[in-house]
Amino acid sequence: MNMQSHGVTPERLSNLKRLEAESIHIIREVAAEFSNPVMLYSIGKDSGVMLHLAMKAFYPSKPPFPLLHVDTTWKFREMIRFRDDTAKRLGLDLIVHTNPEGLEKNISPFDHGSSVHTRIMKTEALKQALDKYGFDAAFGGARRDEEKSRAKERVFSFRNANHGWDPKNQRPELWNLYNARVAKGESIRAFPLSNWTELDIWQYILTEDIPMVPLYFAAPRPVVERDGMLIMVDDERMKLQAGETIEEKMVRFRTLGCYPLTGAIESDADTLPAIVREMLIARTSERQGRLIDKDESASMEKKKREGYF
Amino acid sequence: MTIADIQETAEAAVNEYILAQETKDQLRFLTCGSVDDGKSTLIGRLLYDTKLIFEDQLAALERDSRKHGTVGEDIDLALLVDGLEAEREQGITIDVAYRFFATDKRKFIVADTPGHEQYTRNMATGASTADLAVLLVDARNGLMVQTRRHAFIASLLGIRHVVLAINKIDLVGFSQERFEEIRKDFESFASGFDFETLEAIPMSARYGDNVTAKSDKMSWYSGPTLLEHLETVEFGEHALEAPFRFPVQWVNRPNLDFRGYSGTIASGRVTVGEELVVAGPAKSSRVKSIIGPDGEVPEARAGEAITLTLEDEIDISRGDLLSSAAHRPEVADQFAAHLIWMSDEPLLPGRPYMLKIGARTVTATVSEIKHKINVNTFEHMAGKTLELNEIAFCNFSLSSAVPFDPYEANRTTGAFILIDRISNATVGAGMVWFALRRASNIHWQALEIDKTARSQKLGQKPAVLWFTGLSGSGKSTIASMVEKKLHVDGRQTYTLDGDNVRHGLNKDLGFTDADRVENIRRVGEVAKLFTDAGLITLVSFISPFRSERRMARDLMGEGEFIEVFVDTPIEECRRRDPKGLYAKADRGEIKNFTGIDSPYEAPENPEIHIRNVGRDPEEVAEEIITYLREKGFLAGFAEDGEGI
C-alpha cells in the first residue's frame, strides 16, 4: 500500500497508534500516582478496549488494580457471562457490586422508570462501591465524542468527597501532565479513551481482534417494539403490554446496558468488518439507543454533577 | 458478474477502505478567536461538512436552535459546539471543549477555546497539546488586540504551524485587497514568532466558502481550502528529530528476572544496544530490549508508550529521565521559565508549590518575578505577584535538582505544572527557558558538630512553638509566659516576635500578601537555624496563611514543629486592641490588616488549640508546658539524668 497517499509519513504515528500510546500513558500514570485505583468495567466495547490497553500498559505484569462492575441485575445475561469469562481469561480480580437497598426494594426499570433505576442501581451503587473499598481513582471508558458535556471533561476528572463533578471548577489540564493530587475522601475519575471516537474504537477492535460480547453482532433475537425502540426480551421479568408482540428480528446493539433500557438496531452486520462498514455510513449516533439520555440534551450534565460516570 | 460477485467486490473495496483508515494520522489543532469572529460557526461547519453530524444530533440541534439560536430560522452551527448548559444560555464559550472529525486522510481533534483575555488559561490549555493553531480574524475588523494575544500564546506554547482564518470575507464583498492587507499585517507582526508555516485563508464559515469546498466567489484566491491545508500540512518532526528522552513513569517488576522501565518516549528514537544515561546521577547502561504495545521491537520513536529493559541493574525509579548518552539534558535545581498563572489566588514569590515535570513532582518556589508580560502589547512590566491569566518570566528554585530541556527544544521535558499544596488545584503552567547556574556553585558545607550533638550538650530536645492568631489574640503574652517557665526549668530558649523582627531582619518588608510570605519565610529559616542550634524557639507571628505555616513546618525535622493556634474571636481582639491597631484599620489608616481587609486562614489541625477567651494566660502557658512534657520535649536530665 502506498502510505504517502494516506497522509502518513512512515515516521509519524498513525491515529490509532497515537491514541493507543496516549491511553497507555494515562493508565500508567493513574497506577503510579494513586494508592488504590480501580477500573470500572461495564463489559461494553469501550470497557473492552480500555481493559485491552491496560493489559498492554503493564505487560508482562498484570494491571495493578482490580476491575469493578456495578451490576444493576438488569444487564443482558450474555454480558454477565462474558464478564466472568473475561476476568478469568485475563486472571484479574473482579469486584461485583449491587446496591443492597435497591435489591431490597426491587428497583426495576419497568416499574420505577429509567431515571429512578439509573440513580439507585447505577449512580448510588457506584458511589457505595467506591466508598466501601476506598478507591481514590476510578477508570471509566467514557469518550469526549459521546455527548456534549463530556466534550469538556478532563482526562483526570476531579470529584469531591460526595463524588460530585463541578463543570465550572475543573482543573486546567496541560500537556500530558496530569494532576493526581486529592485530599482524603476526594477522588479522580480517569478517562483514558477521552480522545477516541466510536469509529476509532471499532477500528481498534478490528485491528487488535479484541473479544466482544456477541450482542454487538447481528443475530436473530426476540424483540418487542416499545416507545420507538426495539427492546430484547432477555428474561421473564419483561412483561408484555397490551398490543405488544414478541418478534424475532435480525438485530444488534451499538451500546450495552440494562436490557430494558437498551434499544437494538436492525442490522445484518455479523462480523467486525461489517460493523465498521455500518459505522462508516452510520446516520445515527450511538447514544440514541439509550433511553436515559432522551429527556433533554443537558440531561447528562445533570447526572454527572450528581456522580454518574 | 453475478449478484454474489458484485457483493464480494463491494465488500473487498470496503475492507480495503477500512484498512486504509488504519494508516490515517492525527492532527490536533486549536481554534481561537472570539464568538463574534465566528469560531464556533467554523467548527460547526467543519463537523457538518465532514458529515459527522448525525441525524439525531441534528434533530436536537434544530430544537435548541429555536430556543437559543442567534441566526433566526437557519440552523445555528455554533450551537453544535457550545457545550455546557450555562454557557449556552449566556451565548459564550468559557472552557476548552474537544471536537472530533475525520476525513479519508486524517483524523482531527479540535481544541475549541474561548477568545477573551480572561480565558488566557483556557487557550493555553488547548494550545499545550495542539500541533497547529487556527487564528480567526473578522475580515471587517482586521487584526485586533486579541489576534496578537492569540498568536503570542500559540507561539509561547510552542505551536509551529498557524492558519490565519480571515473569516466573514462575504461581509467585505469577498475583497482580495482586504484579504492581502490583513495577511501582510499579520505576517509582519508574526515574523518575530517562531512559526514554520503560516497560511492565510479567506473564508466564510457561515456559508462554507473555502472551509471544506473551494469558494466560487473568490477566483483571485488560488490557495488551499482550510480542510485541504489541515489534511496536508506536515508537522511533528521536531519531537522525532530531538535527542532521545524517556521519563520513567512506572517500574515494571513482575518477578525477580524482569525489571522494565515503562513510559512514553518524549522525543527522539531508541534502538536495542544503544547506550542510555540516567540524568542526574549519570549512571549508564545499554538497551537490552524494547517492548512496544504489540511485543518486542528493535526500535521505537517519539510518542510511543513502551517498556525498556537494560543490560545492567542500575537503580532507576519513577521520575528519572533516561536520555541519549551523546545528548544529555540539563540538570539543575534552579531555572528561569515562563509561567502562566491559572488561579484566582495570586502567585506569591517565596510560597512553596508542588511542581510536576515529567513523572517527577518536587517542591518549588518562584524566587523572583523577573518581569510580567503584557499579553496584548508584549511589554515587560515589573510585578511582585501574579494574578489569574497573567504571564511572567520567573526564576524558580526547586527542592531538588531535576532533569529538563528548554521548552523551545522539547515540548515535553521542558513543560511543568504548579499545584497548590493546600487546595491541590493546578495553579500554573510553566515552560523552562534555561537553567540557572548559581545553584551548582553553592554546595552545602558539611558540619561535623550537628543538631544532635548540640542538643545533647544542652540536655534538651529542640522544638519550635509556632504561635499563630489574630493581632491582639494574646500570642505574645502567652509565648512570653511559656518562655519564662522554660527558662526557670533550665531550658535554652529564644523568642522571635513579629513586631520585634520587623524592626530588624524584616524592616524592608511591608504588609502586602507577597511581603507577608517573605516575612514568614525568613522567620522560618531563622527558627530552623535556632533549632539546629538545639534551642526551643518560640515564634509569635500572626502568620495568616496556611501555606507559609506549612512551609515553616516542612523546614523543621519530624515532630519539631508545634503549631499553637491562639484562637480568639476577632470581636474580642478588637475589644482588647492593645496597640490601637484595629481602631486605625477601621479608620482606613492601616491597609491589609489581618481580619479586616486581609484574610486569616485558621489552622485545621494545630498541635495545640487555645480557645483564649476568659482564660488566664498563666493557665494557658501551663497547658503548653504540659504538652511539651507529655511529648517528651522536657524529658532529659531532670528525671533520669541521661539526657535525651
Cβ-based contacts of B236 with chain A (< 8 Å): 12
Cβ-based contacts of B98 with chain A (< 8 Å): 144, 151-152, 194-195
Interface test with A, best of B426, B427, B546, B605 (most A CBs within 10 A): B426
Query: Which one of B98, B109, B419 has the shortest CB-CB distance to A179?
Result: B419
User: Which pLDDT belongs to residue B88?
Assistant: 47
Interface test with A, best of B58, B85, B269, B339 (most A CBs within 10 A): B85
Confidence of residue A17 (pLDDT cuts 50, 70, 90): very high
Q: Is A115 on the interface with B (CB under 8 A)?
A: no
Least confident of A21-35, B71-85, B224-238, B259-273: B71-85
CB contact under 8 Å between A280 and B17, yes or no, is yes
Cβ-based contacts of A15 with chain B (< 8 Å): 24-26, 106-107
For the residues B251-270, what does the mean pLDDT come to? 95
Radius of gyration (Cα) for chain B, nearest Å? Answer: 31
Confidence of residue B91 (pLDDT cuts 50, 70, 90): very low
Burial environment of residue A239 by CB neighbours within 10 A (0 to 12, 13 to 18, 19 or more): exposed
Q: Is A210 on the interface with B (CB under 8 A)?
A: no
**CA torsion through residues B597, B598, B603, B607, sign:** negative
Query: Which one of B21, B63, B124 has the shortest CB-CB distance to A203?
Result: B21
Please provide the distance, in angstroms rounded to a whole number, between the alpha carbons at the two ends of chain A: 41
Beta bridge partners of A75: A258
* Among A67-71, B484-488, B531-535, the range of highest mean pLDDT: A67-71
Scanning A13-32 for CB atoms below 8 A from B yields 13-22, 24-25, 28-29, 31-32
Distance (Å, rounded) from C-alpha B318 to C-alpha B315? Answer: 10
pLDDT digits (tens, 9 = 90+) for B115-125: 777 778 888 99
CB contact under 8 Å between B264 and A24, yes or no, is yes
User: Which pLDDT belongs to residue B68?
Assistant: 57
Angstroms from B238 CA to nearest CA on chain A: 11
Cβ-based contacts of B125 with chain A (< 8 Å): 172-174
Which three cell numbers, joined as nine digits, stand for B478?
502567652
CB contact under 8 Å between B106 and A14, yes or no, is no
Give the CA dihedral B515, B518, B522, B528, nearest 10 degrees.
140
What count of CB pairs under 8 Å joins A to B? 202
Distance (Å, rounded) from C-alpha A156 to C-alpha B75? Answer: 34
Instruction: Report the share of chain A in percent with pLDDT over 70.
Output: 87
* Among B171-185, B433-447, B531-545, the range of highest mean pLDDT: B171-185
Query: Parallel, antiparallel, or unpaired: how do β-strands B463-468 and B536-540 relate?
Result: parallel
Neighbours of B199 (CB within 10 A): 19
ipTM of the complex: 0.89
Residue B470: which residues within 8 A CB-CB, separation 6 or more?
B542, B568, B570, B573, B594, B595, B600
User: Which pLDDT belongs to residue B12?
Assistant: 64
CB contact under 8 Å between B26 and A19, yes or no, is yes
Q: Is A262 on the interface with B (CB under 8 A)?
A: no
pLDDT digits (tens, 9 = 90+) for A26-80: 999 999 999 999 999 999 999 999 999 999 999 999 999 999 999 999 999 999 9
Residue B203: which residues within 8 A CB-CB, separation 6 or more?
B42, B165, B166, B167, B169, B209, B210, B211, B215, B225, B226
Q: Which residue of B has its CA nearest to A54?
A: B293
Confidence of residue B74 (pLDDT cuts 50, 70, 90): low
Query: Parallel, antiparallel, or unpaired: how do β-strands B132-138 and B25-32 relate?
Result: parallel
Cβ-based contacts of A301 with chain B (< 8 Å): 84-85
Please give, one letter per residue, the 3-state secondary structure of B81-145: CCCCHHHHHHCCCCCCEEEEEECCCEEEEEEECCCCHHHHHHHHHHHHCCCEEEEEEECCCCCCH
Contact predicate B356/B363, CB 8 Å: no
Would residue B543 show up in a list of annotated catalytic residues for this protein? yes
Cβ-based contacts of A19 with chain B (< 8 Å): 26
The answer to whether residue B255 scores a pLDDT higher than 70 is yes
Query: Which one of B83, B304, B415 has the shortest CB-CB distance to A177?
Result: B415
Name the average pLDDT for chain A: 88
The answer to whether residue B447 scores a pLDDT higher than 70 is no
CB contact under 8 Å between A7 and B232, yes or no, is yes
Query: Which one of B86, B252, B356 has the shortest CB-CB distance to A61?
Result: B252
Give the Å distances, CA to CA, from B397 to B320, B334, B342, B383.
Answer: 19, 5, 20, 18
Give the type of residue at B285. S
Least confident of B103-117, B192-206, B440-454, B565-579: B440-454
Interface test with B, best of A179, A206, A293 (most B CBs within 10 A): A179
The catalytic position among B204, B476, B543, B598 is B543
CB contact under 8 Å between B25 and A56, yes or no, is no
- ∠ Cα A34 A35 A39 (to 5°): 70
Query: Which one of A17, A24, A195 has the shortest CB-CB distance to B98?
Result: A195
CB contact under 8 Å between B254 and A61, yes or no, is yes
Angstroms from B452 CA to nearest CA on chain A: 35
User: Which pLDDT belongs to residue B14?
Assistant: 61
